[in-house]
């Protein structure tokens, strides 16, 4: 099973991803916790560049850097863990690029979907948990630590980002769980667990580009070369 966490700045998604992973491992359910951009040596280098670059990155460059980190994480960490039957909990995934580079930066979402499909080889989460919070409150939660490139963006950027996430969740409620991030932390944990525990006995996610295990992009024709059988 593959579970991702999404949300704007200060939403608490990292805390909740860690809590879910701890709960799974406490129940002796094999689970892996990872994050993006990062989770690999290459990804962590890209993460530092994306968050702390002292020069301007174009939206397309930003998108492709995220995609490179995502491709490495999918190949090196997420894919092998799913092949081994583990639950993968990931702090951000492909939806982040749709929200950040699509809704907030203004890039064409269809183009972003194509880039994501290549980076992830068609892998999609079984469940995405969206921690939703008002922009001003989320940014205020960040505290006195120095803001990164994204936290420095104007309020309009963050409002578009939030709306993007809400639109994505509304378009596919079966695969998204939206939670009010202002609720007490333990209550949020329980709401997430109710949904995850209901999925655990009935569903396992597999990562196999050459099988029917991983859900594919809706329009994979242009990416068919990614899914050829080894014997072809």
What's the Cα-to-Cα distance from 91 to each of 107, 126, 162, rounded to whole Å? 23, 14, 17
Domain membership flag for residue 133 = yes
Domain membership flag for residue 123 = yes
Residue 16 has pLDDT above 50, yes or no: yes
Print the domain residue range for 127.
2-227
Q: What's the CATH number where 144 sits? A: 3.40.50.300
Q: Are the C-beta atoms of 79 and 123 separated by less than 8 Å? A: yes
75-123: per-residue pLDDT in tens? Answer: 999 999 999 999 999 999 999 999 999 999 999 999 999 999 999 999 9
Domain membership flag for residue 87 = yes
Predicted confidence at residue 74, as pLDDT, reads 99
Output the CA torsion 216→128→23→183 (10° steps).
180
**CA 41, 43, 46: angle at the middle one, nearest 5?**
115
Domain membership flag for residue 72 = yes
Q: What total number of domains does the chain contain?
A: 1
Domain membership flag for residue 210 = yes
**pTM score, whole prediction:** 0.85
What the block records as the tokens of 196 is 């995850």
Predicted confidence at residue 228, as pLDDT, reads 36
Count of Cβ atoms closer than 10 Å to residue 22 Cβ = 14
What the block records as the tokens of 144 is 């006195």
What the block records as the tokens of 217 is 């992009």
- Return the percentage of the chain with pLDDT > 90, whole number: 80
Domain membership flag for residue 103 = yes
What are φ and ψ of residue 128, in 5° steps?
A: -115, 125
State how far the Cα of 14 lies from the Cα of 7, in Å rounded to an integer. Answer: 9
Q: Are the C-beta atoms of 178 and 191 separated by less than 8 Å? A: no
- Quick one: which H or E segment has residue 31? strand 31-35
Band of pLDDT at residue 227, cut at 50, 70 and 90: very low
- Quick one: which H or E segment has residue 176? strand 176-180
Domain membership flag for residue 232 = no
Count of residues making up the chain = 232
Band of pLDDT at residue 173, cut at 50, 70 and 90: very high
Residue 202 has pLDDT above 60, yes or no: no
17-55: per-residue pLDDT in tens? Answer: 999 999 999 999 999 999 999 999 999 999 999 999 888
Q: Are the C-beta atoms of 158 and 139 separated by less than 8 Å? A: yes
What the block records as the tokens of 220 is 């994979």
């Amino acid at each position: 099973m593959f579970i991702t966490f999404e949300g704007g700045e200060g939403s608490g998604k990292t805390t909740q991803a860690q809590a879910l992973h701890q709960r799974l491992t406490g129940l002796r359910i094999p689970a892996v916790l990872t994050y993006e951009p990062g989770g690999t040596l290459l990804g962590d280098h890209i993460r530092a560049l994306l968050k702390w670059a002292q020069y301007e990155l174009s939206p397309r460059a930003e998108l492709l850097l995220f995609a490179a980190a995502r491709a490495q994480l999918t190949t090196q960490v997420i894919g092998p863990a799913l092949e081994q039957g583990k639950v993968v909990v990931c702090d951000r995934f492909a939806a982040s690029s749709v929200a950040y580079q699509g809704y907030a930066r203004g890039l064409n979402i269809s183009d972003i979907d194509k880039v994501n499909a290549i980076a992830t080889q068609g892998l999609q989460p079984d469940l995405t948990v969206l921690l939703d919070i008002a922009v001003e409150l989320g940014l205020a939660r960040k505290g006195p630590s120095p803001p990164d490139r994204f936290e420095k963006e104007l309020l309009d950027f963050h409002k578009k980002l939030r709306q993007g996430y809400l639109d994505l969740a509304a378009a596919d409620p079966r695969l998204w769980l939206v939670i009010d991030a202002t609720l007490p932390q333990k209550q949020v944990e329980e709401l997430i667990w109710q949904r995850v525990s209901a999925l655990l006995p009935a569903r396992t996610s597999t990562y196999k580009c050459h099988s029917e295990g991983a859900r594919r992009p809706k329009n994979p024709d242009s990416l068919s070369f990614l899914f050829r059988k080894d014997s072809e």
